[in-house]
Amino acid sequence: MPIKNNASSAYLVAVLGLGAMGLPMATRLASQLTVHGFDISADRLALAAAAGIARFESARAAASGADAVLLAVRNADQLNDVLFGADGIAEVLDSGSVVILTSTVGMEAIPAAVARLAEHGIALVDAPLSGGPARAGTGDLLIVVGADPAALEQARPVLGLLASTLTIVGDRPGDGQALKTVNQLLCGVHIAAAAEALALATALGLDGARTLAALEAGAAGSFMLSNRGPRMLQAYAEGGAEVLSRLDIFVKDMGIVGKAARAAGLPAPVAAAAEQLYLLGQAQGLGTADDSAVIRVVAPSGPPH
């Protein structure tokens, strides 16, 4: 695959999807690269403009002439729509450019997208990430990559600015999705377990903040306990915790985990139990709440007042 010019000063990256992760990534990239941004939300476009990101009125307009397109989409349907739909960008991208998929969409969507992009001389860099909006804005993300080596080199100016930990899983798009599926199994289970633990502490009459501090200091500590725990303690306040990662994202991701496990013939009972908590939360109207609100599924009434 021919490689386009990737000198930083001339390198153009289009960021499509300026949501909670896309906007801080675009802002980070704009510190050294030329960035075009697009989102279907006028409010997100306004925030992008305030951050100094060049806004465009369509995905095609933003992507035209780009060395790389970074996609921050919600699911496989959005991926296919952005690439090949009525305003699909595949028709306007130059041969030798790359599409960097940062979202968790599952492995099943990847082969067809790779094949259709290849018809245009475009490569897919499968690069799902984790770390949250704050870390996205400082280039402190974990990114796992499955990509052809030449395509990976084309994407490095983007990945290098966003990742503090860049793990090359394999040279096939889909390898990144596979590892991210395993990652999300653990993340989803850890959040659910943290919710049960803090709900139990409250039911036993313990102070939530003191319990959280004690657990973090011992063998029971985890990143998700430390990250989501304080927000779980805020989940019963009016308005709940600040939404940094929506609960319905884990409905999607744990669905991907379950589908992958079944396809592999592997039982995953703990992941399945966690998935049910997120599904219950969504059914109870918590889908757009922060995922820490899953504690309200376990203990709907919260701590005594």
The percent of the chain in helix, strand and coil, each rounded to the nearest 5, is 50, 15, 35
The residue written with tokens 């739909």 in the block is 85
Rounded CA-CA distance 33/141 in Å is 18
Q: Which helix (H) or strand (E) holds 15?
A: strand 12-16
4 is a catalytic site residue: no
Could you tell me if 242 and 231 are in contact, meaning their C-beta atoms sit under 8 angstroms apart? yes
Count of CB atoms situated within 10 Å of the CB of 268: 18
The residue written with tokens 């919710």 in the block is 195
Rg (CA), the chain: 20
Could you tell me if 282 and 294 are in contact, meaning their C-beta atoms sit under 8 angstroms apart? no
Tokens in use for 270? 């703990």
Active-site residue list: 180
